[in-house]
Structure 1
Amino acid sequence: MAQTLVNIRMDAELKRNMEAVCRDLGMNMTTAFTIFAKKMSRERRIPFEVSVDPFYSSANIAHLESIVTDVKNGTAKFQEHALIEADA
């Protein structure tokens, strides 16, 4: 089968992290992308769930912008609340 060259641009840290995971799995990035391409071609879909972080939803961004506006205008209402412990 004829081979072709595909260039992919990504953040340097993302590349290092992906190379490390591939190494742990005993493969290189070319093999990982080939697996992805074959699965996507066979299933005719992205082979994993793709979703958006709800933090960046338009509704949440609008809410955060309104809070910033209130703080800048001096109309923000701050309330004391109990400390919320997060599991480590």
Structure 2
Amino acid sequence: MAQVSINFRVENDLKEEFSKLCEEMGLSVTSAFTTFMKMTIKEQGIPFEIKVNKKISKDDVKKAFEYLENVDPCSEEESKEILEMLNDLSEEDKKISSRNVIEL
């Protein structure tokens, strides 16, 4: 199969660091990118998770408050039952559950 060249620009420091890492792994930059392209095709997507560091918008806050307005709180009896169950937990389970319970 015929080979072609792909050219793109990156910051020099990024290229140098990447080249050094590839060399330490016994790869060339070309073989690393070829592997990336093959995995992308095999996975039918980028072969690792890409996340956006999304900041909470005013609209997000508004939606959260609208949701909370429609949530029915527990009755006093239900609250007592929940507290009894929580008090019966082992110390380890209490540590785990306390990370997930918000006292209102």
Shift of residue 30, structure 1, vs aligned partner: 0.4
Identity score, percent: 37
Shift of residue 8, structure 1, vs aligned partner: 1.6
Cα offsets for 1:17-42 (capped at 9, x unmatched): 10011001001110000000001011
Structure having the larger proportion of residues in helix:
2
**Other-structure match for 1:5:** 5
Shift of residue 58, structure 1, vs aligned partner: 6.1
**Other-structure match for 2:42:** 42
For residues 18 and 58 of structure 1, the distance between their equivalents in structure 2, rounded to whole angstroms, comes to: 33
Correspondence 1:28-67 to 2 at 5 A: 28-54=28-54, 57=55, 59=57
**Other-structure match for 1:82:** none
Gaps of 5+ in 2: 58-104
Gaps of 5+ in 1: 60-88
Higher RCO (C-alpha 8 Å, min separation 6): 1
Q: Which has the larger radius of gyration?
A: 2
State the AA in 2 paired with 1:50.
Answer: I
Name the TM-score, length of structure 2 as normaliser: 0.51
**Other-structure match for 1:18:** 18
State the AA in 1 paired with 2:10.
Answer: M
What secondary structure is seen at the aligned counterpart in 2 of 1:47?
Answer: coil
Name the TM-score, length of structure 1 as normaliser: 0.59
What secondary structure is seen at the aligned counterpart in 1 of 2:7?
Answer: coil
For residues 56 and 37 of structure 2, the distance between their equivalents in structure 1, rounded to whole angstroms, comes to: 32
Q: Aligned residue pairs: how many?
A: 57
